Structure 1
Amino acid sequence: MGLGKSEALRTTGRFGVRQIAVVGMLSAISIILGLSGYGFIPLPTAKATIMQIPVIIGAILEGPAVGAMIGLLFGLFSIVQSLMAPNILSFAFINPLVSVLPRVLIGITAYYAYKWTRSKHEGVRIGTGALIGSLTNTFGVLTMIYVLYAAQFAEVRGIDLATTAKVIYGIALVNGVPEAIIATAITVPIVTAIKKRYKN
């Protein structure tokens, strides 16, 4: 059986009109979430970001190339935001290895986690993609900060360098688990509804 047009675009990486529209729309949503502050949900111990969700949705719906493109634009926005409204960690986020690379990987890991999950239930497959994509964002960004800027991170946070890994990965767990749960809860119904619309 031959590939359908949408599946062919996924495998070749070429973007059709729909894929370009999805990239533009979901990238805009991610940027609006960041600028408005609605991309952060306050929790008792931290703020959970949902800005990775458009990347995950785009990847699961349209493939890894689309997800990676949305992630690229999300990462570039992070650099601009760090330059225009700097905070204590802006020295790290102006580096594309911290702000862009992990966001590009969100789309790739989310898509393949969805594709390779063996389940008859579409919701389980979508949820797995959302979970892995969200954790890619959290652990990817914080791992790059640790690898590249452990000393600077310790200095600005006023902690001993020897405890940097413990602090960074503590933040990853405190932020990453709620973010992954929220991303899954939001992504599953949205992607399920859009996929039904695609079929119709």
Structure 2
Amino acid sequence: MTRKGSSYTISILGVFGALIILQAYIPMIGYIRIFPAWPAISTIHLTVILGGVLLGVRGGAGLGLLWGTISLIKAYTSATDPMTLLLFQNPVIAIVPRVMVGIVAALVFNYIAKNVRTGTGATVKMVAAGVAGALTNTGLVIGFTWLFFASRAAQVVPGADASNLGWLLIAALAINAMAEAAMAAVVTPILGTVLLQVQHRHRKA
């Protein structure tokens, strides 16, 4: 990577990192709460997905790591619902799914039809990257929750047991998953197209 490219990457990481921090700590910006006792719908995944699209696997993973670390800290210092308090104090549940959001989005956009970065093809790839990134987060949270809490499932969902915890979590988090995937499918190509054009002009300058 050239010095110019490195400076651009650091600048974008700085801007997106600051945005993630603001989203995490300003009420109803990074987390939209519908039900008081249930996990909020996130918008932070949008920033991580866009980072993966623009900056590749390392950039996406780095932004995901920042998001996951903040999730872990907030679970210990300012959890707003019982499930967040219970689940996201586990570093694996808090961090790994967030890191994978950026990695999956980067892989989908940058490694499928690598040379297609404009036009309809790029739009389709960004929609796919957004949906895949969003569902990766929800899917891994559910998977890790089952892995760590199967033996005490009733702590997570009253009346649950090891055999049905995963299905109950899928049903319970379906609204969050669909909302986050829909947002990613819409926002990623809209903002991503503009940001890729800026990136292209910067590289040509």
TM-score w.r.t. length of structure 1: 0.84
Q: Using the TM superposition, name which of 135-144 and 19-28 deviates more.
A: 19-28
Match of 1:155 in 2: 155
Q: Report deviation, 1:47.
A: 4.4
Could you tell me how far 1:53 is from its partner in structure 2? 1.0
Q: Name structure 2 gaps, 5 residues minimum.
A: none
Matches within 5 A, 1:1-200: 5=2, 16-37=6-27, 38-41=29-32, 47-86=40-79, 87-89=81-83, 90-118=85-113, 121-161=121-161, 162-200=163-201
Distance verdict in 2 for CA 1:147–1:61, change over 3 Å: same
Provide the alpha-carbon RMSD of the alignment.
2.4
Deviation digits for residues 147-171 of structure 1, max 9, x if unmatched?
1123445225322314322211113
Partner Cα separation in structure 1 for residue 69 and residue 110 of structure 2: 27
Contact 2:60 2:99 in 1 (8 A): yes
- Aligned-partner Cα distance in 2 for 1:164–1:139: 13
Q: Distance in 2 between matches of 1:140 and 1:127?
A: 20
Query: CA shift at 1:172, angstroms?
Result: 3.7
Q: Distance in 2 between matches of 1:159 and 1:192?
A: 46
Structure 1 window deviating more from structure 2 (83-92 vs 173-182): it is 83-92
Distance 1:165 1:50 in 2: 24
- 2: CA distance between counterparts of 1:51 and 1:199? 25
Secondary structure of 1:160's aligned partner: coil
**Alpha-carbon shift at residue 77 of structure 1 (Å):** 0.2
**SS of match in other structure, 1:52:** helix
2-side partners of 1:98 and 1:156: how far apart? Answer: 13
Contact 1:117 1:128 (8 Å CA) reproduced:
no
Change beyond 3 A, Cα 1:160–1:195: closer
Structure 1 gap ranges (5+): 10-15
Cα distance in structure 1, aligned partners of 2:150 and 2:44: 25
Q: Is the 8 A contact 1:46 1:174 kept in 2?
A: no
Contact 2:41–2:176, Cα closer than 8 Å, also in 1? yes
Determine the C-alpha separation between the residues in 1 that align with 2:21 and 2:8. Answer: 20
In structure 2, the CA distance between the partners of 1:51 and 1:167, relative to structure 1 (3 Å rule), is: same
Taking only the aligned residue pairs, the percentage that are identical comes to 23
Residue 58 of structure 1 and its aligned partner are, at CA, apart by 0.7
Please give the secondary structure, in 2, of the residue aligned with 1:63.
helix
Give yes or no for contact 1:98–1:141 (8 Å, CA) kept in 2. Answer: yes
Contact 2:56–2:110 (Cα < 8 Å) also in 1: no
Distance 2:186 2:34 in 1: 16
